[in-house]
Amino acid sequence: MVMAGDAAVVEALRRGDEQAFAEVVERFHPMLRRIARGYVRTDEAVGDVVQETWIAVLRGIDRFEGRSSLRTWVVSILVNVARSLAVKEARTVPFTSLGPADDGVAGFGPERFQGPDGEYPGHWTTPPTPWTEDPEASALAGETRAVVAQAVAALPESQRAVITLRDVDGWTGPEVAAALGISEGNQRVLLHRARAKVRLALDAHLTAGEGRAS
């Protein structure tokens, strides 16, 4: 999806328009840092990834053809930069692999479902109940956000990149798939696993003291 104005911004960058660069940096910066954090450990390395990304963007600006949106293209460059830096830090797994399936069913342990000998196999033994507290309510919001931030930070890098772009930055599935170089189906698998873990963390937080996770 090409954003309105992308072509004008790219044209301005090619002309050496510093104001256009300042604006696009301002717009993309928080998102680029959020994504970079999934790949490298330190704040310093995150800063390096972002700076290297802008250098690569400028060097490649004449090759940008507008087949994707500018932000998709910039993020795909960032992911390459971040991954090569992460390789140097020797802490990366192949991005295209989905990784091992996680335990349980989207965060619910196998004991939550009836086995093949149950009355209704595959149905709940103890059904979850709705959260009684609204995690978005103002009194809880700061605390809840910290729980979610921690859960997102603990995700494997591929899941973290997908949930960040989809649910924090509001990208569409196809756009995320294009930026990360994965299929839309794999993008959704990664998103589901990521959301399942964040849901689990929220559930533990919201039901603490109630004796049982929903």
Partner 1 sequence: MTQDVPEDDDLTCTQVVMLITDYLDDALPTTERALLDEHLADCDGCSAVLEQFRTTVAVTGTLAQDDVDRLDDTTREELLGVFRRWSADRPPA
Residues near partner 1, by CB under 8 A: 14-16, 18, 21-22, 25-26, 29-31, 33-34, 47, 50-51, 54-55, 58-59, 105-106, 108, 113, 120-124, 127-131, 134-136, 141, 144-145, 148-149, 152, 163, 167-170, 173, 184, 188, 191-192, 195, 198-199, 202-203, 214
- Coil, helix or strand for 155? coil
**Closest separation between CB of residue 21 and partner 1, Å?**
5
Q: Is the four-CA dihedral 18, 63, 74, 72 of positive or negative sign?
A: positive
Residue 7 or 87 having the CB closest to partner 1: 7
d(CA 102, CA 100): 6
- Select 87 or 128, whichever has its Cβ closest to partner 1: 128
Smallest gap from Cβ 2 to partner 1, in A, equals 22
Q: Where are the alpha helices (DSSP H) in 89-183?
A: 138-153, 157-163, 173-180
Instruction: List Cα–Cα distances, 84 to 4, 34, 139, 177, in angstroms.
Output: 32, 17, 42, 19
Q: Which residue, 94 or 170, is less far from partner 1 as judged by CB?
A: 170
Distances (CA, A) of 193 to 36, 78, 105, 108, 180: 20, 23, 9, 11, 17
Of 91 and 123, the one with the shorter C-beta distance to partner 1 is 123
Output the smallest distance, CB 53 to partner 1, in A: 10
